[in-house]
Every structure is written in C-alpha cells, then in structure tokens.
Structure 1
Amino acid sequence: MNRQEKAQIIEQLHKKAARASIAVVTDFKGLTVEEITQLRAKCYEVGVDYQVVKNTLARLALKDTDHGELSEHLKENCAIALGYDDPVALAKTLAEFDRTNKKFALRFGSLEGDFLDSDGVKELAKMPSKPELLSSVLGTMQAVPRNFVCLFANIERKFLYALTAIKEQKEAA
C-alpha cells in the first residue's frame, strides 16, 4: 500500500468517525472471511460501517474526532464499527455476534466521546432501541389524554345510569 492509498483510507475513516455517534473496536482474530462477511452484512442492515484497518491508520483517522480516545488503546488486530443513528442497534448487532461466535470479541468503544469498556458495550446492547423508546414515549404521551377522556366518559355514564334509574323508578310508581 503506497502513501496515497493510506492517506485516502485515513481521510475516509476520519469523515466516517466524525459523523458517527458510536465507535466500537472489536477483535476479529481467528475469524474466517465468511464469518466477517456475515458480520458486515448484519452491520450493513442496521446502518453500521464495519472496517478492518491498521492501527496506525486508525490512530491518525480518529484524531480530532469524538472518538479520539480510542486511539490510545488500539493494539493487535482490530476492526472498527461505526454507528450513526442508533447506537443501541450497533451494540446489539455486535453483542449478538459475540454470543454466537467464540473467536470474536468486543474490546472497547466510544459513545459520543465517552469511553466504554466491553461490559459497557454489552450493557448498551441490553437497552431498548430507538424505535422502542420512541414508541414507549408516544404511548405515555397518549395515555394522559386517553385517561382524561375515560374519566369524563365515566362521569357521564354514571349520570346517565342515575337518570335511567330515576326514570324507571317513576315509571314503576
């Protein structure tokens, strides 16, 4: 690889890292090409870039981004997964692959500039995803007016029952 190709890789990775809300470094030692291809396909489905890159290039690319602190910890073979919209989706995808494949390992990550160890990434994977959180917020927001309407409907219903009972009582007399 010549200097120009390296500079291009650094520039592309720097642009991706600057946009990413989460970056996770993984160990892929011992994985076959087919297994890495499966992982990349799963990552692609959730909008994640998974890239194997040399540590020196990654250090230069991550500099001056929110994920710059990761460059201190880059050692041995590693790959970087970058997520843009939903950090939980990235964490769930990698944690699921980690559970199913013994050779794969989550090392550490960075969520909007905060360092996460492997346990932190796994805890993030346990959280509900962004659509699930939005649906629960929406459900909570809809519950207040629905309960308000039900409350007044019950008052009217009880008033109607009282009037019906008075009518029946007068008709019986």
Structure 2
Amino acid sequence: MKREEKEKQVAWLREELQEAKALFLTNYQGLSVSEMNSLRSELRSKGIKFKVLKNTLTRRAYQDTEISAVGPDLAGPRAAAWTNTEDAVPAMAKVLFDFAKTHQNLQLVRGVLKGKLVQPSEIETLSKLPSREELVGRLLGQMMAPVSSFVNVLAAVPRSFLNVLKAIEEQKASSS
C-alpha cells in the first residue's frame, strides 16, 4: 500500500473513530470468508460498521480519541465493530455475542463505551439489554396502566347497573 493510500485510510479511520460512541474489538482468526461476510451484513443491517484493522494504521488513527483506551489490545489479527449512535450499542453487542456463541473462532477481546474499557463479560450484559423501542413500549405501558385502570373503574358502575337491570328483566320474564 502506498503512503498516500495509508494517509487516506488513517484520515478516514480517525474521522470514524472520533464520532464512534462504542467500539468492540474481536479476534476473527479462523473464520471463513462467508462467515465474515454474514457477520458484516448482519451488523450493517443494524447500522454498525465492521472492519478488519491494520494495527499500525489504527494506532495512528485513534490518537486523541476516546477509543485510544484499547491501544494495548491492538496486537495480532483484530477486527472492530463500531457505531456512531448510542441506540445501536446493545444491538451491536447482541449481534457480536450471538455470533461468537455459534462461531467459536470469533472471540470478543475488549471494547470501549463512552471512553471506558468494556470487558467481554460486560459486552454479554449489554447484549441482554432490550432495544430502545422495547424500553419505550414498556414505559408507555407503565404510564398507561393507571389511566386504563381508572377507566375500568368508571365503566364498572354503569356496567353493574346494566347487569342488575338485565337480571330484573330476566326475573320478570321468567315469573310471567
């Protein structure tokens, strides 16, 4: 690779890493091309970037970013998944963790979330978090529960009254 190409790649990667909210490093050694492609497409569908890193270029790119905390982990074959939105972090963790469960050659090394190091066990915990949409749905359900209970209480009085009237009507019909 020529020097100009390397400089372009470092500039692109620096820009990406400065905007990244989270980055998880993986060891991908032993995965087939088709397995890597399926992982990439699954991550891409969720708005997550995944790239095999050239360690020397990456070290230059992450300087002065929150991602620099993973510096010591950039040794050997490494690939990184990162996202620019906080909403996609649990989805990224879930995809990587689930893929690592079914493909033993993919190993989660470590990550960075908001400038803090994240261990593989913490990535597993992140993968079990519900999505933002599910959390919003749960919150709305909790907020609507008192209102719906109040409506049911208010509706109970006329309903009970109608049931009493219906019973009186049936009693008069049966006695005639």
Tell me if both proteins adopt one fold, taking TM over 0.5 as the criterion. Answer: yes
Cα pair distance change 1:9/1:144, threshold 3 Å: farther
User: Which residue does 1:5 correspond to in 2?
Assistant: 5
User: Which residue does 2:18 correspond to in 1?
Assistant: 18
User: Which residue does 1:35 correspond to in 2?
Assistant: 35
Give 1:161 deviation, angstroms: 5.9
Cα pair distance change 1:120/1:165, threshold 3 Å: same
User: Which residue does 1:82 correspond to in 2?
Assistant: 82
Residue 26 of structure 2 contacts residue 79 of structure 2 at CA under 8 Å; is this kept in 1? yes
Instruction: Pick the aligned partner of 2:147 from 145, 148, 156.
Output: 145
Residue 60 of structure 2 is aligned to residue 72 of structure 1: no
Cα distance in 1, alignment partners of residues 27 and 138 from structure 2: 35
Residue 62 of structure 1 contacts residue 70 of structure 1 at CA under 8 Å; is this kept in 2? no
Cα distance in 2, alignment partners of residues 159 and 19 from structure 1: 63
Residue 63 of structure 1 contacts residue 71 of structure 1 at CA under 8 Å; is this kept in 2? no
Cα distance in 2, alignment partners of residues 139 and 65 from structure 1: 40
User: Which residue does 1:131 correspond to in 2?
Assistant: 133
Report the number of matched residues.
Answer: 170
Cα distance in 1, alignment partners of residues 32 and 138 from structure 2: 40
Which runs of no fewer than 5 residues in structure 2 stay unpaired?
none
Q: Deviations over 1:34-59 (max 9, x none)?
A: 22111111111111100011112212
TM-score normalized by structure 1?
0.85
User: Which residue does 2:123 correspond to in 1?
Assistant: 121
Residue 73 of structure 2 contacts residue 109 of structure 2 at CA under 8 Å; is this kept in 1? no
Residue 48 of structure 1 contacts residue 81 of structure 1 at CA under 8 Å; is this kept in 2? yes
Which runs of no fewer than 5 residues in structure 1 stay unpaired?
none
TM-score normalized by structure 2?
0.84
Give 1:159 deviation, angstroms: 5.9
Residue 43 of structure 2 contacts residue 50 of structure 2 at CA under 8 Å; is this kept in 1? yes
